[in-house]
Structure 1
Amino acid sequence: MKTTSPLSLLLTLVSIFVSTVDLSAQYKQTIVNRTTLVQNSGNIIPLQRLDKLKIAVVTPVKGKYIPFVEQVQKYAEVSVFDFNMYEENTKYFNTIIVAATERELRSDLAALLQQSAVNRKHVILSLFKESAPLENPWTSPASQSGFTKLVSPGIDATSQRNAAMSLFGGLALTEGKLKTEQTRIQYAAGESSGLDISKMTTRIDAIAKEAISKHAAPGLVVMALKSGQVIFEKAYGSHTYESKQATAVDDIFDLASISKIAGTTPVVMTLQEQGIIHLDSTIGHYLGQAKTTNKADITTRSVLLHEAGFTPFIPFYRNLKPGDLQSYEDSDHQVKVADNAFLKNNYYQNVMWPEMLNSAVKPTGNYVYSDISMYVMKEIAEHETSTPMEEFVQDFLYKPIGMKTAGYTPRTRFDKSRIVPTQHDTAFRKVLLQGYVHDEGAAMAGGVAGHAGLFATANDLAIYGQLLLNRGEYGGVRYFKPETVDLFTSNQSQSSRRGLGFDRADPDLKKEYPSKLANSSVYGHTGYTGTCIWIDPKHQLVYIFLSNRVHPQVTGKLYELNIRSRIQDVIYETINEEK
């Protein structure tokens, strides 16, 4: 007869308790949305799986609808055109969003859009009313069949932004007969939130200024969401202390160990809930290479809890031999670890992974934070899915929910200027790192590792954080079961504060981690490069801080000045002072 261990019983009780407490998303729409949904062909609004949509935004007047376009770009990858060469430009798009006034939609343009409908494209009209109604091609029922149509009461910037948010579920549509619910983040800068946003901004500005002036980091981005609404989003400083390029809110940062919970862990979560990975199965069960090692009988649960007894860190780059790394690419050196730095082919497979498999282990059960843990979980996931982890996570999560920049090896996907530089590496790669992962081991593994390598914007992390607050649902689509999110993010250890992959608020209030006002529901992670994301179900809060505190060299001033926690404190204090 199989017996249940005290630990398993405790964890089961914790899971049951968590599932009985309603910590689901509680969207709170505080702004008035006058956009009206007149027709919803195929019930396409609000838009759902963004990976299934190739979106073109078309305007009759080039450059006129900038607030609308910019808001749409917060949610999805889009291409923007006017009606010049319309058919050719929109040929490869399956969703056409038109922003225009009724006056601008002449009969010839109407004919073009009707042809798109014939070609089985979704045509969405976002019309903005002018002062006087006009006779136009869209008044007859026949001309409107097959289209989706939204109408806004004005053409001002607020009306444009609200219309764009309405398309994606960032705002619920409450006017008229056809209504929708909020399903995505709302970008309203705390409008009508009851919070003193001005006071909060002044206080955060002062802390950010202190961080930059005292060289804790040359630049940073802070973002906060409350009840599904962005209440704060601001960039500070510059990419470097030379101040040649100002930091922007859509800059891409090296997330460092946030990769553990936003890259590897969601892959493990979906495989666990599908029954592909079992938390109490062993490393040796999944990895043939581990069967003859001291790691064969270690469970994946203990690995995710950092209780596997692994060594914390192996400085692989210090063991390079002459000829392993060189400044130019050739047939034997094609692993690019930085600009003008190329590693010998298969170094990870031939040297690093075998060294990890054969490294010493201590008795399991004690908490020892180790990067090796997520190297192992990445290997397990890739063997089970037969897919590189970076591809798998893009396809099942990032692309569908609109995480536009999140991913590994960003220099292959984005212009260098969009990526915030990190350290000027003087020990290993001998160059300024920009778009190449700061972590040496992750770089040597080709830029994709379980513990590091992920790059993203604050907005991408906000989307992921809201998905977790929603307990697995976003944009009207469920990606994780609620109980899966509860299991991984709740405390699952008898010896530490940790969840499965996730870090959590420290129960010792004297440590004030991650904030003196954080509560027991808070989970998330920090990153060595000066980053963090913390999700608070109790207050329906997501807090994101991104910086490059390791530039030009590693400094501890971000910790010494307690910058991340103090900003988080300000946000909590603002919420607690809600009008």
Structure 2
Amino acid sequence: MKKTALPKFFVLFFSLISITAFGQYKQAVDNHVLLSKNPSQSIPLKRLDELKIAVVTASPAHYAPFVSMLQRYAEVSSFDFHQYDEKTKYYNTIIVAGTIEDLRGDYLAMVQQSIVNRKHVIFCTFSPQNTVAGTLNNSFRQQNITLLDVADASPAHQEQMAMSIFGGLGITEGQNKTEQTRLQYTKGERSGLDIAKMTQKIDAIAQEAIREHAVPGLVVMAVKNGQVIFEKSYGYHTYENKIQTKTTDIFDLASISKIAGTTPVIMHLQELKIVNLDSTIGRYLYQAKGTNKENIPLRTVMLHEAGFTPFIPFYRDLKKGDLQTFSSESHQVKVADNSYLINNYYQDVMWPTMLKSSIKNAGKYIYSDISMYVMKEVAEHETSQPMDEYVTDFLYAPIGMKTAGYNPRNRFEKDAIVPTENDTSFRKVLLEGYVHDQGAAMAGGVAGHAGLFSTANDLAIYAQLLLNRGDYGGVRFYNPATIDLFTSNQSKVSRRGLGFDRADPDPKKEYPSKLANSSVYGHTGYTGTCIWIDPKHQLTYIFLSNRVHPQVSTKLYELNVRSRIQDAIYETINEAK
């Protein structure tokens, strides 16, 4: 019997049904924390942008595992009880942790004042058989406190306590149970995977990449079923081997900016019905009226099918005096250390040039940075707010993405940011915390196609939001249908989703990995980065490097480093079946 091909709509419909059938979290770890008191159901904590959190212990050094784990989820300041009142007055959430010996009467008197001052106090006690928790429950019976307890202050129990507060671990014992709502940092414990064998494979590939000078350093992270199963750094920031790469380092994400910076904003505006993907550029941008861009639908732009020029090297057209080594009234656009561009160059030269640029092969897939310049302009005209501020306010801050953002040198120390190219043609300096992409730098560091910096952990949080189909930390940020729409194949001529890249349907191309399946979506970045999200396996794979240091190199591609590491992760999963 001849088989009849299903219409594309039905193929997409059934593929989405199969994706939604997979669970978001599969907590296998035993959590021994008890939640004795949880007024207003405040645990696990939710909107992190509304919380100013301090943790107070008798000895921050002794409770370092607890404090460190808390700080993986949110901005948390750590204090002892010395000058408690002065140190905590600007915080609305106070986490007080200790044993029966730690929580002295004079300390509790100070905590009592915090309660009077309407602060949310969370007691975390480490005691056998609830000895401290019972005392506190009696002392503060009529007051609005939250109370958690675990048997002892071992490092493992400290970490479980911290994860329980934020929802990294669901509380499974006692009357007040909770569910996992955030990433879980338990190193693959009880995952059923051979983590040691996988680590050996990844170590070997990473060491080869460094030895062959494909990259000076890198960070690899993998999350499965909401549990971080692998997180490791390798090498150094540069080949001088002075600063060792850490998992907390901030990297230039390059084109990952398209799906983690611009696209989530467009998704949000589309949900709010502020932006309609089937409306045209001219509908939203006055300057596009009368140009060859006026009647191009936004959907076409997001698919890279508008026929835009792939790339315009604006920096090559700079005139004498446009760039100088010092800041002045006329030159305040900082594009790197000791490198300043003349004011309004983006508005006066770059954007008009893009609007006047030619259209060729419209309807075909032509990957173009101009597409996301356009979408950023649409977003900013509709929100009346710079895109970097908007995405931080509605997404990054609420879900705990602490480092993700643009122009990181305005927020972080230089040594926390991995340098990229020693730019000898444009800025004449090593790029340390300034975007590698020349056009994005000339646009002030905030562009639709590039400019976003982040740690691997922040990217993992965003990826888990997508795997959860719009929900993270117990708060819904997107409707499931929106996630499905943007991340699924939406093109008749390419593998692309809306903004998102996807696994290539041609198995011979082995992109992004020879073992990747048709549910996989994500993006790569020119600086040597990638993120791939696999709904079928509830898996996120993140690779961050600076392969463009000290100069642009193709070694990372030649050695196929990113794909081989992804293969190693898939092999581990397949062996466990």
TM range (shorter): over 0.9
TM-score normalised according to structure 1 size? 0.97
Letter in structure 2 aligned against 1:436: Y
What is residue 165 of structure 1 aligned with on the other side? 163
- Which deviates the most, 203-212 or 103-112? 103-112
2:420 and 2:188 map into 1 onto residues whose CA distance is 31
| Deviations, residues 77-121 of structure 1 (Å, cap 9, x unaligned) | 011101111011000100001121122111111111111111111
Match of residue 457, structure 1, among 455, 458, 473: 455
Q: Secondary structure at the match of 1:111?
A: helix
Q: What's the RMSD between the two structures over aligned residues?
A: 1.5
Preserved CA contact (<8 Å) 2:129 2:151: no
Within 5 Å, which residues of 2 pair with 1:121-132?
121-130=119-128
* Distance apart, 1:63 and its partner CA: 1.4
| Deviations, residues 379-437 of structure 1 (Å, cap 9, x unaligned) | 00000101100000000000000000000000000000100000000000000001000
**1:88/1:70 CA distance change after superposition, 3 Å:** same
What is residue 20 of structure 1 aligned with on the other side? 17
1:325 and 1:308 map into 2 onto residues whose CA distance is 32
What is residue 324 of structure 1 aligned with on the other side? 322
1:163 and 1:226 map into 2 onto residues whose CA distance is 21
What is residue 82 of structure 1 aligned with on the other side? 80
Establish whether residue 558 from structure 1 lines up as the match of residue 562 from structure 2: no
* Distance apart, 1:571 and its partner CA: 0.2
1:525 and 1:140 map into 2 onto residues whose CA distance is 54
Establish whether residue 533 from structure 1 lines up as the match of residue 531 from structure 2: yes
1:22 and 1:317 map into 2 onto residues whose CA distance is 44
What is residue 191 of structure 2 aligned with on the other side? 193
* Distance apart, 1:154 and its partner CA: 1.5
What is residue 97 of structure 1 aligned with on the other side? 95
What is residue 153 of structure 2 aligned with on the other side? 155
1:39 and 1:408 map into 2 onto residues whose CA distance is 40
Preserved CA contact (<8 Å) 1:137 1:143: no
Establish whether residue 107 from structure 1 lines up as the match of residue 105 from structure 2: yes
Within 5 Å, which residues of 2 pair with 1:475-494?
475-494=473-492
> Once the two structures are aligned, what percentage of the paired residues are identical?
68
* Distance apart, 1:43 and its partner CA: 1.1
Establish whether residue 342 from structure 1 lines up as the match of residue 340 from structure 2: yes
**1:514/1:22 CA distance change after superposition, 3 Å:** closer
2:403 and 2:7 map into 1 onto residues whose CA distance is 39
What is residue 255 of structure 2 aligned with on the other side? 257
Letter in structure 2 aligned against 1:38: S
Q: Secondary structure at the match of 1:524?
A: strand
Preserved CA contact (<8 Å) 1:530 1:548: yes
1:134 and 1:352 map into 2 onto residues whose CA distance is 64
Preserved CA contact (<8 Å) 2:251 2:546: yes
Letter in structure 1 aligned against 2:461: I
1:10 and 1:533 map into 2 onto residues whose CA distance is 30
| Deviations, residues 331-352 of structure 1 (Å, cap 9, x unaligned) | 0000000000000000000000
Within 5 Å, which residues of 2 pair with 1:365-514?
365-514=363-512
2:132 and 2:263 map into 1 onto residues whose CA distance is 55
Match of residue 573, structure 1, among 567, 571, 574: 571
Match of residue 48, structure 1, among 21, 25, 46: 46
2:565 and 2:261 map into 1 onto residues whose CA distance is 25
Structure 1 gaps, min length 5: 1-8
Preserved CA contact (<8 Å) 1:253 1:546: yes
What is residue 296 of structure 1 aligned with on the other side? 294
1:119 and 1:134 map into 2 onto residues whose CA distance is 23
2:214 and 2:48 map into 1 onto residues whose CA distance is 38
* Distance apart, 1:133 and its partner CA: 4.3
| Deviations, residues 113-169 of structure 1 (Å, cap 9, x unaligned) | 111111111100111115994798525254563110000111100000000000000
* Distance apart, 1:269 and its partner CA: 0.2
1:200 and 1:308 map into 2 onto residues whose CA distance is 42
* Distance apart, 1:17 and its partner CA: 3.4
1:423 and 1:245 map into 2 onto residues whose CA distance is 16
Q: Secondary structure at the match of 1:138?
A: helix
Letter in structure 2 aligned against 1:447: G
1:322 and 1:530 map into 2 onto residues whose CA distance is 32
2:468 and 2:315 map into 1 onto residues whose CA distance is 41
Preserved CA contact (<8 Å) 2:133 2:147: no
What is residue 212 of structure 1 aligned with on the other side? 210
TM-score normalised according to structure 2 size? 0.97
Match of residue 275, structure 1, among 269, 273, 276: 273
